Structure formats: C-alpha cells, structure tokens
Structure 1
Amino acid sequence: MYDEARDEFDWNQAWDSFEGTPSSFNLGSEILGSDETETTAIRIVDMDDGSEDTITVTDIATRSRQFANFLDECGLSAGDRVAAVMEPREALYATIAGTWLGGYVYVPLYTLFGPEALQYRLENSGTKVLVTTPEHREKIDESQLSGLDQIVLVDGGTAAETTFAEVREYESDFDPAETSAEDICALQYTSGTTGDPRGVEMPHGSPVALYPYTRYAADLRPDDTFLGMAPPAWSYGLFYCTVVPLHQGTELITIRGDFDPDVLFDIIADYPVTSFFAPPTAFRQMAQLDVDVDSSAVDIRRIYSGGESVGASTIEWVEETFGTTVLEHYGFTEGGMLVNNYPLAEWEIKPGAMGKPIPGREVTLLDLEENEPVDTGGVGEISVRTTDEVPFAEAYFKMPDKSDEKFGGEWIRSDDLARRDEDRYFWYVGRADDVIISAGYRIGPSEVEDSLLKHDTVAEVGVVGLPDDERGQAVTAFIVPTASATPSDGLAEEIRTDVKQRLSKHEYPRRIEFVDELPKTASGKIQRYRLEEEYGEEE
C-alpha cells in the first residue's frame, strides 16, 4: 500500500482540495470558507479550572474579518508583520486568520518566551501590530522596538492601547487581499541553534505542501474530533493543528493552562476524541499515572506524535490503554513533515523507527561532506529535494546568505542524522548540530548560553542536552564561575530562576554543574560533544 500511495500521488490532488490556485491563493480565505454556520470549529479546554470555550465557524469568520478591517485602518501595507503572544482563545484565531485575510504576515510567539526572546523576534521581524494579554504585555518594552506601532490587549488595557473589544466593533464584511501561494503568510522563528533564531518565511501555499501528510500519515478526516496538543506558536501547531482542521471542517480541541495528564484523560473520554496528537512527554506523563482507563469509553482511530522518539515502553502503554498504536512522525520547520509511519494496510511498525518518506517528496540521507546519498546502513543527514513542486518554506527573513545556504541548492538539509535499513525505514541517530530536543521543544544552546552569560557570576558556559527519562533531554549548563562567585546549590537556583524569567520557561537549564574549565578547540570554541560524552555517560 505504501509504494502504491507514492506511485499514485500527484500534486493536482492537493490543489484540488483547495479553492485557490497557485496564482490566487489567500490562506485566510481558504480556512474560513464561504459557508458560515453555528457548527463548532474549536473547543478550548482550560486545564486549570476545567472550563470550556466553544468557537463556532461563524465566530471565527466574523472576528477575523473585523480584525482585518482594523489592520487596514492601522495603515498597514501588504506584507507588514502582525504578531500575537497569548494562549488559545477566540482572539488568537481571529488574529491569525484576519492577518492572512488582509495580506499581512503573521508572527507566532510562544507564551513561555521571556522578555529577551520576545524582544528579539519582535524587533527582527519589524512587527507593526502586537496582540497580547496583560500577562505578556508586561514583558514588552516598546521603547526598544523601532517598528511597533500598535499594541492590542485582550482582556484588559489602558487608554494608551487598543483593546480587542474595540476590534469587535469593526465591520464584519471584508474582501480578502489578492495574494498568491508563493506570498509569505507567516514568519516562524527557529530555535537559534547556531546564533540568533531565524525567521522562516512560510508561504500561503504551505498547507498544500502538507496535503500528503494529512492524507496518508495523519489520516485526519472532516468527521473526526481532533485533539491537537501542539501550541499554535510553532509551525506544526499553526499549520497542522490549526489550519488543516479549520480548512477541512474537522472539530478541533485544544488546551490552555498548565498541563495536567489527569484532565487529559477526561478530555479524551468526554468529547470523545477520535484523532489525537501529543508530544512524547505528554504520553510519558500519562503513562506514569496509576489510571484505570475503560477502553470501551474511548474510540480513538489515530494517535500520533513527533519531535523526538516516544520510546518502546510508552508505545506499549498507549496500545494497552487506548487500543491503537502511536504513529511516530518527523519533520522540520524548513522542510515540513517528511518521514512518517502510516496507518496503511500491511504497514509494519518497527519500534523506534521514524518510518519512510512521505508521498510527493524526495527525501534521502546525504553524506555530511558531499551532496551524495549514503549507502544502506550508513549515517547521513535527512534532506529533502528543493525542486519539489510545492515548497513548505522558501527563505529566512532578512538573511540572504543563510537563505541561499539553506534553500539555494538541490537539497534542503535538516541538521538531523539518520540511517536507513534494508527495508528503507529511517532510524534517527542524532543532531548534526548541537540543538537540544527537550519535551518536544527544539532549544538552541547558543540562546541559552547568551542569557546565562548575562548573570554576573557566570564567566563561561557550555549548554548541552543530557539524557532524561521524562523529557528525552534535559537542558544542562556547565558554568565556569567568576573568581568572586562561590558555587552552591543556592547560586545554581538563582541562575536558573534568572534565565527562566528572562528567556523562556521551557529553555532554562534544569541542571547546572559548576566546573573549573570547559573543553575547547585550539581556536577557543567550546566542544559541547565532549561535555555530552563525559557527563551523559554518568546518567
């Protein structure tokens, strides 16, 4: 069945599932459609208090068009950037779709980002309008943002700011801007693996590139109830867990608040969920609970995960608990979803294997030095051919040299290493660079190191990911303290708290080790791999 799927697929099938064409394609118009109904589009469950927000198709369409009219009145030009930082709520989805309707570029920002991470992305993108809540408004210093013209506050505000309640007073009729599938609709910032984070330019046609993934790997259907636990601040959460269900009319359930595995069990049973995506950490936390699940109370067709390996023991628990297996999927921001396990007849699940390339894409493993495929069993870098008809992303914002290096050749390299067995299954090996994958988040060590070095007791620092049973990898900082500093548990906690507040709650070092010196190359570069080798073996 897999080989047949690859043989039968052509990109006309993908384009036929959308109203637009390559020359005339507005993503906001695509996901809102023309039929406004009171059908539920999104349910947002608050894990802190159990409350639920229900958003209908009409709600999203109305608020999005009002927001687009507001942006037009702000005097924005085509391609100007509009950012949002807030947890899922009606205003967030209206901001996303309204920005696209108007022909502007959406900049998703994660709620766990601290002031430094937010300031960098807002300034680098030249964001004109920011939509946020009072909680995150406190992190923003607009005096340091040269391009920011307008802040819109949801659930609060002062006379100096526009409130989203005012946006709701605008007209609800709006003619979508003329855009093409190649025009940019979003800037998705990477994790800063080598230097500063990069804004990946995502075109309006990105969901077309996701079509074979939706059809063959995820098998998401209009009559599903889809629980998508990827935040819309990240590319998978934005495009697959937001755009795809809205476009095809699948009811989406998402969450906000602190993650609670007990509440997650209730959500799965109560709605009931038929299609479920979650990062591996969520499954591990659920498996640790002593919960007796009545399998007859759940009816999940598909469960899938990505970001890192789920692990054989967790997969076994999922199968015993929900009566279906976890399909592990792989992708990266610049390339889209590329290597997957599939719910196809006769498909063999090999525990720990990434799967095989998606229909419609040419994916291979390239030698690290040459653009030549490695032999079966050899380790190479996962790469996707750039000459494919529908790209998922095309360039880095304001980085022409980096863009040419990444996108200008025959292949887009992922920085991920894998090997391919005799059955053509891919097996993940590790990173070609030093990025840390912790609880599904891709964390650039350079950004964490920069934040740590701002503490006055840190002379030098190297950040790596070390094995962790729950998170996959734990962010670990090896610090050479200044001469005046005295290493202690108290100092480690002080540094840890400082980074958590200034950078991001998911990036701070969960482990800190004070050392006399760091391993370095002759030119003075820190050798992170030696820290991983020495201290990783101690775990």
Structure 2
Amino acid sequence: MTWYVSVPTESYEVARDEFSWAFPDGYNAATDFLRKHDHADDRTALSQLASDGTREAYTFADLDRRSDRVANALRARGVDRGDRVAVFVPQKPANVLTHLACWKLGAVSLPLSILFGEEALRYRLRDSETTVVVADESVLDTVVAAAPDCPDLTHVLTVDADADGTPAPSDRDTDDSTTWDRFAAVVDDAPSAFDVADTDHETPAIVMYTSGSTGPPKAVLHGHGLWAGHCPAFSMYFEHEVHADDAVFWTPADWAWIGALGDLVFPAWHYGQPVVGHPMGKFDPERAFEILAEFDVTHTFLPPTAIRMMMSVDDPTGRFDLSLRAICSGGEPLTPEILDWAAESLGGVAVNELYGQTEANLLVTNCQQWFEAQPGSMGKPVPGHDVAVVDPETGERRPTSDVGEIAVRRDGDPVVFREYLDDPEKTAATTVGDWHLTGDLGVEDDDGYLWFKSRDDDLIITSGYRVGPGEVEQVLLEHEAVEQVGVVGVPDEMRGEVVKAFVQLVRPTGSVTAADAIRDELRDLVRSRLAKYEYPREIEFVDELPQTTTGKIQRRKLRE
C-alpha cells in the first residue's frame, strides 16, 4: 500500500474544494507508517538521543522488525484484538514501538504521561480495563502502587529498569498477581515476523484520556485513521514541506499527548520523514536550541509555554546553527510577541497556530503560503474538516462575528472520535445534529478566520495541559486541614493559566509558617496523586467560599 494524504497546494480555496477522504481498503496505521516506504531499509525514521547522551538511529525497517517482536511478545501475554495496552514511557523507542505493535495486533494502545501520580494512573488503568502496561524505569514506583487495585492488569513490561542496576518489580515485595518482566528481554526473545491484523481506518486503535470541568477524565476512543487525518493540517502548518528531502521533525512535547503524537510524530512517518526523540524531562530552552541545531531540525511543534521560555535565550541564530523553517504551536492562543520574536530573532521562521482537542484534533490552522496569519486567530478550517461556529442547542450556524460553539461535522471525518469508551450518554451529549461540539466558544470573521473566545465550562488549560478543577478539589479535600475548596484557572504570562486553589480550612492556621506548611502539603498531595502539572501553583486561604443555594462552589465568582 503506497498511499499518501495529498493536499492540493495551489491555494486554500482549491484545497478546500477538491480535497476529500479516501482511505485504502485494509488500512492499518502501522503498515502506513512503516511498510509502504520505498526507502524503508535506508531512511532514518527515529534519531534517538538518550538522557545520557548516547545516540541511536532506527530506519523504518528497523522499527517495523522491532515492533513485530513487540507484537509477538504482547500476543504471548494474552493481548488480542481490542485489548488495551498502556504506554507509560517518555520519548524513548519503546513508546512508539508499543503503539505500533498494538495496531499490528488490532489491539488498542493507551498513552499515559509519566507525570501521572498514583491515583491518576490507577483510575485510567481500571477504567480502560488495561491488561498490559509498558512502563519506564522512572515510573515503576507509581505502577507498583497502582497495580494491586487494577484487576484486569496481568503483565507489566519495564523499560530500561536494569540500566543502572535498579531491580525490576519482579524482584520487589509486591502483593499483586501481576507478572513483571523487562521489556528488552521479552522483546529480544520474541519472533521477528508478524502478520498484521485485518483492520480499516475505523477499527479502534487508541484511547486517550481528557479532563473535563466535572467528573473524572473521559476515555476518548479513536480509530486507525486518526493520524492520517492530521495530515492536511500537518501540510498546512509546516508550509507544504512534508516531502522535503532535508526535512527533520522534533517536538519536546510529551509523547503521551495528542499534540505530540498527532501533530508531529505519526504524520511525519506517514510521509516517510525522520523524527528526533529525546526524554528531556523538565523543559530547558537552551537544550532545546542545542537539539534543533545538532539534528538539523527543520520543523518543530512547540507548546506556547516552551516558546515563551525560548524567547529568553539571547541571540539564538548567532549562537546556534539552526536549520529551522517552521514552528507550529497550539493549546492556547499565540500572542503577537511570539510572532514578532520569530520574525526578528529567528530570521523569519514561520509560526503557525493550530486548534483542536483530544476528541477532534487539528481542525483549524494557518499556512502563510496561503494566507496571512492574524495574531490571536486560530486560522482557518483545514481541508477535510467541516468546521463552523454553531448554536449548541440547534446546530444552526451562527452569523459571522456572533459568538457560538466551535463544532465539526462528524460524518466521514477521521479525526472525530468514535466514542467515549463505554459511555454512550456522554458521547451523545457532545453531538447536536451532524455536529460534534468542542465545548469551546468562538467567532468566525468575514474573512473566514476563527477566533477562540473561551471555554463554555470551568476547564483549566495550563501549559497546554487540560486540568479538570473537580479532580484537584477532590484530592485537596482529603487533607485533614481542609473544610472546603474551590479550584479555578487564573491568567499567567508564561503558562497561559495556572491552577489556583481557594481553601477554607477547618480552623485558622494561627501563623504564616503554619499556613506555608499547609500549602506545601497540599501541593505535594496533588503532585503525588494526580499529575505534576495539576498542582495548585497558587493557594489562597479564605474564611468562606461563594456557594449556590444548593451548596455548589461558584467558581465564576472565584475568578472575578
């Protein structure tokens, strides 16, 4: 199967009129990314820079053979069609190899951020009925803590657990019945050939969890066609250079996030282009420029927070030999200062904003070959996606300049999710007529540009991560000193928003020192139970919280 998503490049109008979806029969994402390329044996697919500075290069054929072994290893541990396999690994080869292996099996992969704490991990493994976890050495303690409460979990494969003598969990004192093995050992012992399962672009392939303003995170189920569905936007925001001979792609974003896998990694492999991987950990702007220079990166996805941090680096083009030609970014609106910085400090590198969500990603973006970017605007709808601003009650399109809910037509669009896993009521609640409702309010202007206005709920978006205030409130209420709590997002120059908790204590602290101690305990509690990005950077103690007559915390008043 030699098939590429081909977007007409003559003009935006031509692309919108002429592009349509036509997946080949028997489509499988792993086959698409690895087996169709004529240069599979000699073209680098992944340049891997390890934390210790060592380097490895994998061709597309290497990844194909290696993921065959992973697929056989998973099958030997009972993984079958439709079963869920969690990927709890940073930017390492084991991460993408596990996804590819799952899709070859017809199984469903589940990306998980290594920032997750014990409670966040436990909930996702239980809710998804995950049977196997591939876990990095850095998160083994979290897995050990969560595993006994996950009845469907039968096997854990540990990545790099023996790299520095750290004992694998099989050597530890655990009270669960899960079998623990080292990933490298079981994969090396597995057969090197695998027949890909019979799938198509709608076959379930991946579950990603997304937070909402109320209730626990929701499991978003997508099919095999999801990643190819990102390709028209990929072509736009990277200025139609998807087939460039010298193109190299990199993102520092977590490979558990749709904004990393979908905005860059898998679309690049769809077009047979190389990707750089590096488990950076905490983002370092100087190190980011070093990677861009060292690997001759031409195209990168950078969250807005990362860009703002990189803006503090002096004279980047003078200090680093950069090949960079285009940056895409999303998660929050880009400010004019970012576009000015790219023009002045990076020698005119194109910076293109994009818009999407876990349920329906890369719906809107910019392409400076086609139309001028408008600072603060998300851009225009991507070919292949019917995007509009609608009345959320009727589904009728709103007139230009009138605020409504951003929506995308569901039928035939491969980036629109299939369902919230085993939850038809929540799935139906996001649909009106033919439209999927994003939950984001916006307007369309007379020139076809879309402008984000706000969420229609209390969801917090910090450094591109979605944080549900209810989850954070629930954890904070477990602290013995807390009587009531309300969590909101407040503006922040670097991160867009940060999490702020208004806390009503059981009794006054009596001193500044005691108050500071409680703040530290509350932050540590959230870090350990949820994800590190969900902790409240700001905590304000109050005598009472605004409530409705039914006792519900009024978050709107807390933001005022």
* TM-score bracket relative to the smaller structure: over 0.9
Q: Secondary structure at the match of 2:106?
A: coil
1:424 CA drift (Å): 1.9
Aligned pairs for 1:236-251 within 5 A: 236-251=259-274
Give the whole-Å Cα distance in 1 for the aligned partners of 2:288 and 2:320: 17
Q: Which amino acid aligns with 2:73?
A: F
**Separation in structure 2 between the aligned mates of residue 291 and residue 501 of structure 1, nearest angstrom:** 38
Confirm or deny that 1:525 pairs with 2:552: yes
Distance in 1 between residues matched to 2:58 and 2:484, nearest whole Å: 49
Tell me whether 1:312 sits opposite 2:331 in the alignment.
Answer: no
Task: State how 1:495-506 maps to structure 2 within 5 Å.
Answer: 495-506=522-533
**Number of the residue aligned with 2:235:** 215
Q: Does 1:144 align with 2:149?
A: yes
1:334 to 353, 359, 362: 359
Counterparts of 2:557 and 2:241 in 1: how far apart (Å)?
43
Give the secondary-structure state (helix, strand or coil) at the position aligned to 2:232: helix
Is 1:188 the counterpart of 2:215? The answer is no
- Unpaired segments ≥5 residues, structure 2: 1-10, 162-167, 172-178
The alignment's C-alpha RMSD in Å is 1.9
The aligned amino acid for 1:215 is: S
2:49 match: 45
Q: Deviations over 1:259-316 (max 9, x none)?
A: 1100111222222111111000111001122345239932322211000012111221
Structure 1 segments unaligned to the other structure (5+ residues): 534-539
- Tell me the residue number matched to 2:369: 344
- Inter-partner Cα distance in structure 2 for 1:124 and 1:152: 20
Match of 2:131 in 1: 128
Rounded Cα–Cα distance in structure 2 between residues aligned with 1:475 and 1:437: 9
Q: 1:96 aligns with which of 95, 99, 115?
A: 99
TM-aligned CA deviation for residue 208 of structure 1: 3.2
The answer to whether the Cα contact below 8 Å between 1:394 and 1:407 also exists between their aligned partners in 2 is no
Cα offset, 1:523, TM superposition: 2.2
The CA deviation at 1:237 is 1.8
For 2:181, give the aligned amino acid: T
Structure 1 residues 259, 187: CA separation in 2 closer, same or farther (over 3 Å shift)?
same
The residue aligned with 1:475 is: 499
Amino acid in structure 1 at the alignment position of 2:217: P
Write the mapping of 1:436-515 to structure 2, written as runs, cut at 5 A: 436-483=460-507, 488-515=515-542
Structure 2 letter corresponding to 1:147: D
Distance in 1 (CA, whole Å) between partners of 2:372 and 2:481 is: 53
Whether the 8 Å CA contact 1:205–1:392 is kept in 2: the answer is no
Q: Deviations over 1:28-63 (max 9, x none)?
A: 2221215641432112335x6544343332331122
Which residue matches 1:230? Answer: 253
Q: Is the 8 A contact 1:457 1:484 kept in 2?
A: no
Over residues 61-99 of structure 1, what are the superposed CA-to-partner deviations in whole Å (9 max), with x where a residue is unaligned?
A: 122101111121122231000001111112112111111
2:430, 2:437 within 8 Å by CA — same for their partners in 1? yes
- Report how many aligned residue pairs link the two structures: 523
Deviations 1:447-503 (A, max 9, x none): 111111121111111111101111110111111111375561221112111211221
Give, in angstroms, the shift of residue 110 of structure 1. Answer: 0.4
Corresponding residue of 1:87? 90
Secondary structure (helix, strand or coil) at the match of 1:65 reads helix
Matches within 5 A, 1:314-393: 314-322=338-346, 323-345=348-370, 347-393=371-417
- Equivalent residue, structure 1, for 2:112: 109
Matches within 5 A, 1:57-68: 57-68=60-71
Q: What secondary structure is seen at the aligned counterpart in 2 of 1:202?
A: strand
- Aligned residue for 2:87, secondary structure, equals strand
Question: Displacement of 1:209 after TM fit?
Answer: 2.1
SS of the residue corresponding to residue 504 of structure 2 reads strand
Question: How far apart in 1 are the matches of 2:464 and 2:92?
Answer: 23
Partners of 1:504 and 1:95 in 2: how far apart? 23
Q: Is the 8 A contact 1:386 1:409 kept in 2?
A: no
* In structure 2, C-alpha distance between the alignment counterparts of 1:79 and 1:442, rounded to whole Å: 27
1:435 partnered with 2:459: yes
Q: Measure, in 2, the Cα distance between the counterparts of 1:235 and 1:407.
A: 21
CA distance, structure 2, for counterparts of residue 137 and residue 532 of structure 1: 38
> Offset at 1:376?
1.6
Query: What residue in structure 2 maps to residue 29 of structure 1?
Result: 31
Contact 2:389–2:442 (CA under 8 A) maintained in structure 1: yes
Secondary structure of 1:233's counterpart equals coil
1:141-183 deviation line (CA, Å, top 9, x unaligned): 3211010011111122235521112221111100001112211
1:11 to 17, 21, 31: 21
Q: What is the TM-score normalised by the length of structure 1?
A: 0.93
